[in-house]
A = this chain, B = another copy of it.
Amino acid sequence: MSSPRVIGVDAGGTKLLAGVVDGDLEVHHRIHRLWAGAGREAVIEAMVATVEEALRAAPDVARVGFGIPSLVDWRRGGSLSSVHLPLEGVPFRDLMTERLGLPVAVDNDANAAALAEQRCGAARGASDVVMLTLGTGIGGGLVLGGEVYRGSVGAAAELGHMVVDADGPECFGGCPGRGCLEALASGSAIARDGAVAAERQPDSALGRVVAEDGTVTGTVVTEAALAGDEVALAVVAHAGRRLGAGITGLVNAFNPEVVVVGGGVMALGELLLAPARAVVAERALAPSREVVRIVASSFGEDSGMLGAALLAFEEQRGRA
């Protein structure tokens, strides 16, 4: 293996994905870990152990990139705050550099995912790109003028918290907002609306599953929708139209060439994207609505890990 390689690590709220990645973004070694509910020390030790395991498989690796679900102080590489992992106040880059003995790059996970899609994925060749990651919550990433946009203290691109329905439902996960995009079109929102729909229509496929299981998750609604249940399909289509209203605002604000939609909820594919695109086509301003492509992510669950690897590559080039 002559091309330089790095390790990319995508640290999510419940799981960690690491890979040895070469300059063509090929992944040569892949490690998954689950760590739901782990404390700060355990999370950090798991990251270190994972990278060390990858290093044993690929001793040529000279750099490591991390995407973490935190507000990252980009210049200092610290984790200022984090809703999904206990990393608040951790001087992440310095700590990992010391623990691993290798140069470390770190950024917010959704920024990393946006970078991967813009450099090498669904938005390749575009200079202005908006990324939404639809999971339990909704994350956002922005590449503007070819560079990741982070805002004045690194807290930008919280695109799941654009207000789309000012009097709408309370948002999730510690956000004090109402009617944020996340409150309308995330996996949590689909689960909430699915529970209401199941109760109203107990004879539907969704209603029967819910009556059996007792709880509704986004995955339950997704499976019912993919199986053709009309009640579940209506819930998903409604979320898709709300997603479209949010994307309409983003298209008018950013005039991007591409909006990339990723995350686990995108298992719904066109069931979610088609109504979103229809709303944008109807309601966004010309010429932005004609310019923009609204597409599924190329890398799916890998985009954060590949983006973390790209961070490591780009920092290497910047310092070379």
Contacts and interface: CB of A to CB of B under 8 A. Distances in A.
A287 B163 contact: no
A256 interface: yes
A156 interface: yes
B255 A151 contact: yes
A162 interface: yes
Interface string A170-200: 0000011111100010000000000000000
Interface residues of A, number: 57
B285 A156 contact: no
A161 B71 contact: no
A204 interface: no
A151 B129 CA distance: 9
Contacts of A161: 248-249, 252-253, 284-285
A154 B80 contact: no
A271 interface: no
Contacts of A128: 151-152, 156
A15 interface: no
A93 interface: no
A257 interface: yes
Q: With a 10 A CB-CB cut-off, give which of A154, A164, A166, A256 has the most chain B CB atoms.
A: A166
A128 B246 CA distance: 22
Interface stretch (A18-26, A41-49, A142-150): A142-150
Interface string A110-127: 000000000000000011
Given A157-B253, A178-B283, 20 more contacts: A128-B156, A140-B253, A142-B253, A151-B255, A152-B257, A155-B255, A155-B285, A157-B255, A159-B252, A159-B253, A161-B253, A162-B252, A163-B164, A163-B246, A164-B164, A164-B166, A166-B241, A166-B245, A176-B285, A177-B285
28 contacts: A71-B287, A81-B286, A81-B287, A126-B152, A128-B151, A128-B152, A140-B253, A142-B253, A144-B149, A145-B149, A152-B255, A154-B255, A155-B291, A158-B253, A158-B288, A159-B252, A161-B253, A162-B249, A163-B164, A163-B246, A163-B249, A164-B166, A175-B285, A176-B284, A177-B248, A177-B283, A180-B249, A180-B252
